[in-house]
Chain A
Amino acid sequence: MTQKYQRLMEEFQDQVTRDDFERSFYTRDLASVPPIMTRLMFQTKPDLVVSPLNEECIEETMRLAIEERLAVIPRAGATTAYMNTVPADGGILIDLNRLRGVLDIDKENLLAEAWSGTPWYEVEQTLQKNGFSLCTYPSSAVAATVGGWFNTEGYGIGSMQYGCFHDQVEAAQIYLPQGKWIDARQEGSYPLSWFMGKEGTLGIVSRVRFRIRHLPEAEYHAALAIDSFTQLVSIINRLAGQAPGAYNVQFSDSDCFSMQADLGYEVPLHDRHLVCITYQGSAEEIKAAKKNVQQLAADTGAEMMPEQVGQEVWDDRLYALKIKRGGPTLLAGEVALSADKIPLFYQQVKKLNQRTAVYGHFMGPNKANILVQYYADESKNIQYLFQMAKTKRIYDAAISLGGRPYGVGIWNSVYLKRVFPEDILRQRKAIKQELDPLGIMNPGKYYSPPALLHPVLFGMGSGIANGISSLVGIGKGR
């Protein structure tokens, strides 16, 4: 095995490692999965880790992978929880974190280019220094990277106004498993839509060029307390037609705050939900927005909270995991759902026999990305397996209302056939077959579930676990 990698190791010495100790830290992402599950189904430790400092290293690594038909797994922040960036069956893991930095700011055309391993937080800092700002960024922007968000769904802070990050991408430099670089654009032989959100299954992205905006002159964060999510729907419906438009709308349910309060954090309220609406723009626009929000509150029966609350919620926007301390494990299901279905989804989630913190962002005027988090304890193995099964109930609730899991990876691949039409899935597989005929790019993810995770078996297993949990109380949550 070492011989196979010899050429690479000689040429890119400090960018390549076979060391067992080093490789052992690439075997997981955010999710804590009991070893009994991962060992049974996967070989999560890569055979080789490459941490490129330049595109030449990517190219040589990919050439070797193609020659030897080795799996290649791209990874950067690894801030997802579906094993998107973890090997399913060994192979070469390309750690892109050292390809970091903003390469160019085109001030005239409002475009920026960054290495794929650059954290969004760093991009924003660089842009702000130059008088510009990102249109959108992920809610894990401190660690999430440009390439990572390109490869995943691309919704986050600012999506209410600017939509999906994918719509802002102008170009991407990608090395294909056919052995060549391409400069993917919105149009052309290799349209960006083929690659964006495909979880690194079609190539290695080294650079991304995307739209930016001028740094807004002013901003305002309105916090509105509400008693039900029906009010949230009224608020979002009214916001849809208003000018100036809201930059970001996020919401947290009362349990988000009660879980924080239990840990000793100061919270703005205990028994109601909170909506935070952010406006960014000219001073004039902010003035108009403030007036609109007053009216919005009056029209929907929401209570305007002090301005400081809105600011604090905004300041905390990248820290949804702060409640994890109460777990110590925090399990979650993240879904995309139509705005009007949120109240029904919320009702079902609250029947989990488990306290859940519900937190979300609007992906536009009609759709929300909702994160449902609940406490578990991974140190209690059997209980933990039953607690994990509850995520299926969250996804079932979303799917029954026309929603879907947000992100696929390995774990959510079991839901693919339930949420996407057959022709879409067939089309995806056809593109995969065309671009990656050897099937070496991030195998085992995104297109179909692994054999041991067959949807029927998975459904039965989870269903039985949830049934037992309800009857006997094992895995009963706090």
Chain B
Amino acid sequence: MQDHSFYEGLKKESLICAQCGYCRVECPVYKQIGWESSSPRAKMLLAGKIADGNQINEQEALRIFQCTMCGRCKEQCSTRIDTIKVWEDLRQEIAEQGKSPGNLRILTQTIEENGNITGDEQANRELWIDALDDDKYRQRIGSRGKVLYFTGCSGALYPQVNSIPRSFVQILETAEEDYTLLGADESCCGFPLIAAGQPDLARDLMQRNLDKIKQLGVETIVTTCPSCYHSWRDTYPEFLGADLPYKIMHASQLINEYIKQDRLPLKELDEVVTYHDPCDLGRNSGVYDEPRFVIQSIPGVDFREMDRSRENAACCGGGGNLEAVDDGLVAKIAQQRLEEITGTGAKTVISSCQQCKRTLQVNARKNKIRVRVMDLTEFVLKSIKT
């Protein structure tokens, strides 16, 4: 399997698509909807239609946006189509035709006006720090530091997952890291805008974030959000046309380094756990090993792999802005993943993503599934504090 993208534009890729259907076998959306129209190969036919200059209708637009952008289709494609790129370009074309689903138009406007996905004041990005009840964390905002922790909108603004940045900064402190935070100066990484078909607006946010970092002496940018990680690592250089002067890391990678350097005092946890690969960290960024190394470094942990893991991992349903388009579909996809999780016998599922945690947790509660959902940072902190 070649790693590089062959992408040659919507028209060409739609012709290259063999309609073999390899893409749809594991597609989480097709598996739930069941009609051929929901399969990636049907979306490729719509791509051809749009590339030929045709207007599309709302029903067709909805099908395009009913996608978690999990990349499973790309992994399976028999003609090596970079389907993620196709979906991004398709969404842009639809946005230009003014046919995006209403909620996505609202999301776009929200980010454009507020710099974040929730519509909160930017100052609210710092609220999660208050619960730590120690001023040393707040003092990191805007300070100079070698490592910038880019919190991301979800971690900073969704109370359900505020515990992730809170856990991570405590890990950074334990490891005696020289780190900094952007606080209210941080803007959305741009990823949700790309998924909404608004790459130009995403580019503006990327530039805004880079401008804020310049004076902080940063050498490494670390994120707890896989989508932020993927954006910073791959999309920023692509969109801005230059390599960034920073090393980009996901929290799982940095924590793994700390463990190897013996900077974290991990204590025994007697728990049966499994790991859910976030699509943007695993399949779309190739980070599979580090989260597993971290989990298995904690003494006493009984780690159980799911049948579908690593590059074959199933999506939780929370990606690609699907929540804004069809939350009922998200729930069905999450339900299926939760069944796989409980099938391992694990009492705790660990992920490395705010959105995966939110999606799995909400749907586990809704369906009374007895499984605890934790982020890797939370699990590591628990081990440190035991």
Q: Which residues of A contact B (CB under 8 A)?
A: 17, 21-22, 24-26, 28-30, 32, 49, 51, 77-79, 95, 97-98, 119, 121-122, 125, 129, 140, 142-143, 263-266, 318-319, 321-322, 324-325, 327-330, 377-379
Contacts and interface: CB of A to CB of B under 8 A. Distances in A.
B185 interface: no
A28 B80 CA distance: 21
B34 A51 contact: yes
Nearest to B24: A143
Nearest to B76: A142
B25 A119 contact: yes
Contacts of B35: 17, 22, 25, 49, 51, 95
10 shortest A-B CB distances, which residue pairs?
A328-B15, A143-B21, A25-B36, A321-B78, A142-B22, A328-B16, A324-B79, A321-B18, A25-B42, A25-B37
A377 B6 CA distance: 18
A24 to B, nearest CB: 8
B345 to A, nearest CB: 15
B18 A29 contact: no
Interface in B106-134: none
Contact of A324 (B18, B59, B60): B18
Contacts of A24: 37
Contact of A325 (B6, B19, B20, B37): B6
Contact of B79 (A17, A264, A325, A378): A325
B45 interface: yes
A325 B16 contact: yes
Given A322-B79, A324-B79, A78 B15 contact: no
Interface string B55-87: 000011000000000000000101110000000
Nearest to A326: B16
A179 B24 CA distance: 32
Nearest to A15: B34
Interface of B: 2, 4, 6, 12, 15-16, 18-22, 24-25, 34-37, 39, 42, 45, 59-60, 76, 78-80, 307
Contacts of A125: 307
Contacts of A329: 15
Contacts of B2: 264-266
B22 A143 contact: yes
Contacts of A327: 15-16
Nearest to A51: B34
Contact of B21 (A79, A98, A266, A325): A79
Contacts of B307: 125, 129
Contacts of B59: 21
Contacts of A29: 19
A330 B21 contact: no
Nearest to A264: B2
Contacts of A98: 34
Contacts of A328: 12, 15-16
A101 to B, nearest CB: 12
A322 B78 contact: yes
Contacts of A121: 25
22 contacts: A17-B35, A21-B59, A22-B35, A30-B19, A32-B19, A77-B21, A95-B36, A97-B34, A119-B25, A121-B25, A142-B20, A142-B22, A143-B20, A143-B24, A264-B6, A265-B2, A322-B78, A325-B6, A325-B79, A327-B15, A329-B15, A330-B18
A21 B37 contact: yes
A32 B78 CA distance: 16
Contact of A321 (B4, B12, B79): B79
A301 B6 CA distance: 38
Contacts of A325: 6, 16, 79-80
Contacts of B42: 25
Contacts of B19: 28-30, 32, 78
Contacts of B6: 263-264, 325
Contacts of B18: 30, 321, 324, 330
Nearest to A95: B36
Nearest to A315: B1
A114 to B, nearest CB: 14
Given A129-B307, A321-B20, A22 B76 contact: no
B78 A79 contact: no
A26 B20 contact: no
Given A21-B60, A79-B20, A265-B2, A322 B15 contact: no
A28 B19 CA distance: 9
Nearest to A78: B21
Given A21-B59, A51-B34, A322-B79, A140 B20 contact: yes
Most chain-A CB neighbours within 10 Å: which of B21, B24, B39, B60? B21
B361 to A, nearest CB: 28
Contacts of B36: 22, 25-26, 95
Contacts of B24: 143
A25 B45 contact: yes
B340 to A, nearest CB: 13
Most chain-A CB neighbours within 10 Å: which of B4, B16, B35, B42? B35
A352 B21 CA distance: 30
B76 to A, nearest CB: 6
Nearest to A319: B78
A75 B113 CA distance: 49
Contacts of B39: 25
B260 to A, nearest CB: 31
A448 B45 CA distance: 31
Contacts of A51: 34-35
A278 B2 CA distance: 24
A312 to B, nearest CB: 10
Nearest to B4: A264
Contacts of A265: 2
Contacts of B78: 142, 318-319, 321-322, 324
Contacts of A319: 78
Nearest to A121: B25
Nearest to A140: B20
A1 B152 CA distance: 54
A263 B79 CA distance: 11
A21 B64 CA distance: 13
Nearest to A265: B2
A224 B105 CA distance: 58
A22 B79 contact: no
A322 B22 CA distance: 12
A159 to B, nearest CB: 20
A30 B16 CA distance: 11
A176 B307 CA distance: 37
Contacts of A330: 18
A125 B42 CA distance: 26
Contacts of B45: 25
A267 B4 CA distance: 16
Given A122-B25, A325-B6, A22 B37 contact: yes
Contacts of A321: 18, 20, 78-79
A379 B34 contact: no
A92 B303 CA distance: 49
B39 to A, nearest CB: 8
A122 B36 CA distance: 19
B15 to A, nearest CB: 4
A139 to B, nearest CB: 11
Nearest to B78: A321
Nearest to A100: B31
Given A22-B35, A121-B25, A264-B2, 18 more contacts: A25-B35, A25-B42, A26-B36, A28-B19, A78-B21, A79-B21, A97-B34, A119-B25, A140-B20, A142-B20, A142-B76, A263-B6, A265-B2, A266-B2, A321-B78, A328-B15, A377-B15, A378-B15
Nearest to A324: B79
